[in-house]
Amino acid sequence: MKDKSIFEIKSLDLFYGNFQALKSINMELAGGEITAFIGPSGCGKSTLLKTLNRMNDLVEGCRITGTVRLMGQDVYGGMDVNLLRRRVGMVFQKPNPFPMSVYDNIAFGPRTHGVKKKSALDSVVEKSLRDAAIWDEVKDRLKKPALALSGGQQQRLCIARALAVGPEVLLMDEPTSALDPISTGKIEELLLQLREEYSIVIVTHNMQQATRVSDRTAFFLLGEVVEYAKTETMFSMPKDKRTEDYITGRFG
């Protein structure tokens, strides 16, 4: 999986009505890596993230041209959206557990995909919670409401919920922006562990976070990818003056 291209994006333009939110995006996202999207608010990074599992389908007046391929398959060319979202999981900015028990949050996806046997569900629930580094904190509270957990625990629960259906890719839209520094640290540690099994794309406002967790970084400005490189290279030797200005804090 590592180094193989997982997503290929070619000549991608995206419009909300008459407004062009993404302009001619061309990039390949490598498998087995963490890719960070950085840039000021409203620059297109979350919009691009959502095109990868067609979350923008839900937005009225959204029009997309160009191609997005997941391991060679055209995401917008008749691919089953439910299958796509099973392969490409999503974790949002604010933790959004379902108003049900911890156990039922994790079992929800597998049940939807036809797993009915209790022993099978038990093992998926345990594995997903272990993979999300939260099993020890919740193993005695599986029947308790998920909404009773702390914010940081809820976000790890949402990561476990995304993992429960066996995705290949995890999309994360600023997953730590609503969390305190300790919870943020736990999620960053978790991301580095998850990279062993999953390809991860993370939108972050926090440039230190991008340097700590990502292998590659893309810098967005006004709907365009200005620069896309190995994270180390981009932060030490940016090629574009606009990238340098942004990462040194001259604007943004």
Q: What is the pLDDT of residues 80-102, one digit of tens each?
A: 999 999 999 999 999 999 999 99
Question: Residue 78: its pLDDT value, please?
Answer: 85
Is residue 229 one of the residues assigned to a domain? Answer: yes
Q: Rounded to a whole number, what is the distance in angstroms from the first to the last CA of the chain?
A: 35
Q: Which of 141, 170, 139, 134 is nearest to 155 (CA)?
A: 134
Is residue 252 one of the residues assigned to a domain? Answer: no
Q: pLDDT digits over 236-249, tens only?
A: 999 999 999 999 98
Q: Look up the pTM and report it.
A: 0.94
Tell me, what amino acid is at 103?
Y
CA 45, CA 111: separation in Å to the nearest integer?
32
- What's the whole-number mean pLDDT along residues 61-72? 96
Domain count, the chain: 1
Is residue 74 one of the residues assigned to a domain? Answer: yes
Is residue 166 one of the residues assigned to a domain? Answer: yes
Is residue 243 one of the residues assigned to a domain? Answer: yes
Q: What is the CATH number of the domain that holds 152?
A: 3.40.50.300
Q: pLDDT digits over 195-215, tens only?
A: 999 999 999 999 999 999 999
Is residue 230 one of the residues assigned to a domain? Answer: yes
Token digits for 37? 């999207």
Question: Residue 196: its pLDDT value, please?
Answer: 92
| 169 Ramachandran zone, left/alpha/beta (phi>0; psi -120 to 50) | beta
Q: Is the pLDDT confidence value at 1 over 70?
A: no
Q: pLDDT digits over 15-35, tens only?
A: 999 999 999 999 999 999 999
Tell me, what amino acid is at 121?
L
Q: What range does the domain containing 17 cover?
A: 5-247
Torsion of CA 145, 91, 133, 230, to 10 degrees: -170
Question: Residue 215: its pLDDT value, please?
Answer: 97
- What's the whole-number mean pLDDT along residues 204-230? 96
Q: pLDDT digits over 98-150, tens only?
A: 999 999 999 999 999 899 999 999 999 999 999 999 999 999 999 999 999 99
